[in-house]
Amino acid sequence: MPEPEPVPVAEAVSVAEAVAEAEPAAVTEPVSVAELVGAPTETAPETPPKKKRTIRTRKLFTGALVLGVIGGVAAGYTIQALRKPTPLPALSVTQPVYPVSSIYVGVQPSALPAGSDDATVVNGDLTKLLLPTPAGATIPFYDHGWMELASEASLCDDPGSCFTSNVTEGVARIADTSWKRGDGTYVEIRIFQYQPGDSDSVDKAYTNFPAAGHSTLTMPAGVTASGYEYKDSDGANDDHAVAVHGSLAVYFWVTSTARVPDPSIINDLITRQMARL
């Protein structure tokens, strides 16, 4: 057998010195020869910790809330779509019919013909209710036509005030006609119709008819009318009157530059015109 090679004395002494100089704590722990001689040591690489899977409670709650709303809407829509439509109630309710008692039979008056029904006549064409133009007379201005509120107000001394009065007092429409007789006498008839039920304006047209400082005229019997005579700004002699019936106020003018008009002229006009209404 081959004999082992002898260890050099210098290496043995250095190992023994290293062992003697080591701290007591190091002796209790196993020390490798490589650590004693200063050889480099290899360290095992550290294993990274595994990440934990986490789900936030807020996201879970939000998702559940969204799913709940969507599911509720879908369920409600499905229920409404499958439900039969509810029929609408009738627009008109059938009124009860009561038997006619024998005590009223024959008491109710018969209906008036259209020509005698006051409401039918008044609400018709007022221009056709104006007196016809006499034969031989000329037509200087209006001839059985409609007059606008602004046109009527322009004939007043204060157009603005007259227009405001016509509007606020409820004038609905105005019909007018005029003619000139052979003796030069000018005649005009103007019908004002007020809104239905506005009886106050009709009463004012009669009660507020100006007559102060003028000679009053005697009006025909059985007609609600008022009249007076005066001399206008042009020096002409005028007979002026107003008569009322229902929602109508009818104004009359008889004017002459040659003489004072005979009162019988305007009285005849009032009598015949109001009979047509």
pLDDT digits over 70-119, tens only?
888 888 888 888 888 888 877 877 788 877 666 555 566 666 665 556 66
In tens, the pLDDT along 37-84 reads 555 555 555 666 666 666 677 777 788 888 888 888 888 888 888 888
pLDDT-derived band at 145 (thresholds 50, 70, 90) equals: very high
Residue 272: is its pLDDT beyond 60?
A: yes
- CATH number at 118-276: 3.40.1000
- Which residue from 114, 111, 110 is spatially nearest to 124, judged by alpha carbons? 114
Residue type, 29: E
Helix extents (H) in 115-216: 118-122, 126-129, 149-153, 159-168, 199-207
Residue type, 264: S
In tens, the pLDDT along 159-192 reads 888 898 888 888 889 999 999 988 889 999 999 9
pLDDT at 238: 92
pLDDT at 233: 80
**Range 209-221 average pLDDT:** 82
pLDDT-derived band at 133 (thresholds 50, 70, 90) equals: very high
In tens, the pLDDT along 248-260 reads 999 999 999 888 8
CA atoms of 210 and 182, how far apart (whole Å): 30
Q: Give ∠ CA 31-37-42 in degrees, rounded to 5.
A: 65
Residues 6+ apart with CB under 8 A from 187: 137, 178, 179, 180, 181, 252, 253, 254, 255, 265, 269
pLDDT at 68: 84
pLDDT at 110: 67
pLDDT at 273: 92
User: What residues form DSSP beta bridges with 215?
Assistant: 229
pLDDT-derived band at 156 (thresholds 50, 70, 90) equals: confident
Tokens of 146: 């409609």
| DSSP H or E stretch at residue 191 | strand 186-194
How much is the mean pLDDT over the chain? 78
Residue 26: is its pLDDT beyond 50?
A: no
* pLDDT over 70, % of the chain: 71
* pLDDT over 90, % of the chain: 21
Residue 227: is its pLDDT beyond 50?
A: yes
pLDDT at 19: 46
- Which residue from 202, 236, 232 is spatially nearest to 214, judged by alpha carbons? 232
CA atoms of 254 and 217, how far apart (whole Å): 12
